[in-house]
Structure 1
Amino acid sequence: MSTSLTIPKLQMSSTEGTLAEWLVADGSTVEEGQAIYSLETDKSVQEIEAPASGKLVQKQAAGETYPVGTEIGEIV
């Protein structure tokens, strides 16, 4: 089973976010609640926590801007 990681809607007006940095290397084991990436919007920068425990698979590059809902990785 896997858990999809998508660009979240952090503010009501958010339509996109920049994956500022992966905080955990691709293929690393993560624990639920651990910060795994930072997301930058027009109003803030936030660390986003893993919604589940498992192995992180990165699907998108840091430094790029993606629409809300875009799958950027998964935890398997």
Structure 2
Amino acid sequence: MAVEVLLPKIGFSMNEGTLAEWLVEDGGQAVEGQPLYALESEKSTQEVESPASGTLRIIAQIGETYEVGTLLATIG
């Protein structure tokens, strides 16, 4: 069963964020607890950890802005 990678709410007032960089390539191996992607919000850029280990399937594109809770990728 695939694990969904959703855009997290990093700050109290955060409603959206910009996907700055994928740190694991599409089809690459994500490792739970390791940095998966960089997310830019109004105040900072942060690396977000992988919620699971497995093969990453990217859906969201770098440079695009997404709302909190948007599906960015799956890990299977």
Please give the range of the TM-score, normalised by the shorter of the 2 chains.
over 0.9
Deviations 1:20-55 (A, max 9, x none): 010110000111111110000001110001011000
Structure 1 spans left out of the alignment, 5+ residues: none
| Number of aligned positions between the proteins | 76
Counterparts of 1:24-35 in structure 2 under 5 Å?
24-35=24-35
TM (normalized to structure 2)? 0.97
Opposite residue 57 of structure 1, the aligned amino acid is R
Q: 1:51, 1:21 → 2: CA distance?
A: 17
Deviation above 3 Å: which 4+ runs of structure 1?
none
What is the root-mean-square deviation in Å for CA atoms of aligned residues? 0.6
Identity, % of aligned positions:
51
Alignment match, 1:59: 59
Opposite residue 6 of structure 1, the aligned amino acid is L
Structure 2 spans left out of the alignment, 5+ residues: none
